[in-house]
Amino acid sequence: MLRAYGPGCDGSIVDPKLEKIPDGATWIDLEEPTPDEERLVERCIKVNVPTKAEMQEIEPSSRLYEKDGALYMTASALRGLEEHHPTTTPIGFVLAGNRLVTIRYATPKPVRTFENHARRDPELVRDGPTALVRLLDAIIDRLADEIETVSARMEQLSHEIFQEQQDERRIPATKLTALLTSIGQTQTVLTKIRYSAVSTLRLLSFFAASNLVHEEERKELRHHVTSLTSDVISLGEHASFLSDNLTFLLDASLGLISIEQNAAMKLFSWAAVVFLPPTLITGFFGMNFHYMPELGWRDGQALSLALIIASAVGPYLYFKRRGWI
């Protein structure tokens, strides 16, 4: 699908059979492009359209390069959070003069948001460089929103783990399982956010070093790129902080599990110690030897019962007094 935005272009789909892209188009968006659409862009804009495999390369030299005066850049955008399946998708940016071409095989939320803004305010896409920084701004804003959501989720996790009352900290096994699952899902989102932030920062650094940004009339563009770079660096540092804090919450959760296991083993241990002496006495007097002097005692059964009870109650009271149970 090929859409054109800019002065006089409202984002309508361009039919590749027309063999022409509107002259006023400053942002050409290719979503899952067909071969005909790719050929149309290559013929009209005079650039090569990167393939999906090329955009998925992780080497900076494959993602960020300049060819025939055009800048080829690829960034990974966060997506899939609404479907609870966070992942990243590569978005290719080709900046040729005053025209921007984007190539993507998914539609992240910031791209949808920027498309709506571009339809309402064509000034956002008055030229290719402006469209690029505005679109990157939308992607970075999305990362910031998701970091705020992760931060709020971590506060909730911390409240569940560190209850004020000691009895409330005894979490059932099912709740502990759900807690660990939630921590794992949050860590996955943080990982994707950091990956997208690093990818965007590389793109901004490459773009900031280009000759286009350093042209005399591009002073406003330089300031915008510098501001976006600072924002991404701050987001990356915040994401790293949250990741460290999440590791602490994971360790605390595992510590609670160990406490619950130790409490169960402690119960079995003192129960075994309490019932071991009565078992020994019962086993001794339960032997079937023919010559046992105790068998003739008149009060032998009462004495054995008393000894059994005393041997059970005595260790229990001793452990209780020492605070072991």
Q: State yes or no: pLDDT of 300 exceeds 60.
A: yes
pTM to 2 decimal places = 0.77
CA distance 252 to 4: 52
Apex 122 CA angle, 230 and 79, nearest 5: 50
Question: Do 99 and 128 sit in the same domain of this protein?
Answer: yes
Kindly report, residue by residue over 183-221, the tens digit of the pLDDT: 888 889 999 999 999 999 999 999 999 888 888 888 898
End-of-domain residue from the set 233, 260, 287: 260
Q: Strands 9-13 and 2-6, how do they pair? A: antiparallel
Give the total residue count for the chain.
325
The closest alpha carbon to 281, from 314, 317, 242, belongs to 314
Contact 116, 124 (CB under 8 A): no
End-of-domain residue from the set 260, 287, 311: 260
Question: Do 217 and 280 sit in the same domain of this protein?
Answer: no
Question: Do 242 and 313 sit in the same domain of this protein?
Answer: no
Per the structure, the complete domain to which residue 293 belongs is given by: 263-322
Question: Do 223 and 285 sit in the same domain of this protein?
Answer: no
Q: Which two tokens stand for residue 60?
A: 């900076």
Question: Do 12 and 54 sit in the same domain of this protein?
Answer: yes
**Tell me, what amino acid is at 295?**
L
DSSP 312: H
Question: Do 204 and 288 sit in the same domain of this protein?
Answer: no
Which residues are CB-neighbours of 90 under 8 A, at least 6 positions away?
52, 55, 56, 74, 75, 76, 77, 104, 105
CATH code, domain carrying 315 = 1.20.58.340
**Higher per-residue confidence, 213 vs 317:** 213
DSSP 165: S
Q: State yes or no: pLDDT of 165 exceeds 70.
A: no
Kindly report, residue by residue over 47-72, the tens digit of the pLDDT: 888 888 888 877 767 788 888 888 99
CATH code, domain carrying 149 = 3.30.460.20
Work out how many domains the chain is built from and give that number. 2
Question: Do 54 and 198 sit in the same domain of this protein?
Answer: yes
CA distance 301 to 307: 10
Question: Do 220 and 281 sit in the same domain of this protein?
Answer: no
Question: Do 65 and 205 sit in the same domain of this protein?
Answer: yes
Kindly report, residue by residue over 236-294, the tens digit of the pLDDT: 999 989 988 988 888 888 887 777 777 767 777 777 777 777 777 777 667 666 666 76
Question: Do 211 and 248 sit in the same domain of this protein?
Answer: yes
Question: Do 106 and 236 sit in the same domain of this protein?
Answer: yes
